[in-house]
Structure 1
Amino acid sequence: MLRKLIAAGIGVAVALAGLGAAAPAQAGFAAVERDVARVAPGVASAKDPVASISGRLVDAAGEPLRGIEVTAQGVGHGGYGTDRTGKSGAFAIALKRSGTFELWFEGRPPHTTGQRFVTTVKVTVGKGKRAKLGTVRLKHPAGFGSSSIKLTTTGVYSHEEDRLYVHLKDARGQYVASTALYDDIDKKLSHTFTNVAAGRYRIEVPATGQSVVVNVGKGKTATKSLAVARPADGGDLRIRLKGAATKVWQVKLTDAKGRVVRVLDSTQIEDLPPGSYTVTGSSGSNQFGAKAKIRAGRTTTVTLSPDGGIVKGVLRAGSKGYPGKVILKKVGSSTRYEARVSDDGSYRIAYVEPGRYRVIGRDASSWTGTKFTIGGYADAYYGGTSLRSSRIITVKKGKTTRLSSLVFR
Structure 2
Amino acid sequence: MNAAQMRAAVLRERGTGPELALEQIPVPVPGPGEVLVEVAAFSLNNAEILQTRGAMPAPPGGVPGLECAGTVVQVGTEVTRWHHGDRVAALTRAGSYAEYVVVPAGACIAVPDDLDPVVAAAIPEAAATAWWNLVHRGRAAPGDRVLVHGAAGGVGTIAVQLAAALGAQVVGTARGPVKAALCAELGCAHVLDHTGADLFAELRELVPDGVDIVLDNQGASTLEDNLAVLAPGGRLVVIGVAGGTSAVLDLGVLMARGVEISSSSLGRLDDEMRAALCREVEDNVLPHIITGRIRPVLDQCHPFTELPTAIARFGAAERVGKVVVTVGPVSADPMQHNGTISLHDDEGGSRMNLRSCDQRTPNPRQPNESHPDAG
Please state which band the TM-score falls in when normalised by the shorter chain: under 0.3
Higher relative contact order at CA 8 Å, sep ≥6: structure 1 or structure 2? 2
Task: Point out the structure with the larger helix share.
Answer: 2
Bigger radius of gyration among the two: 1
TM-score, reference length from structure 2 = 0.26
Task: Point out the structure with the larger strand share.
Answer: 1
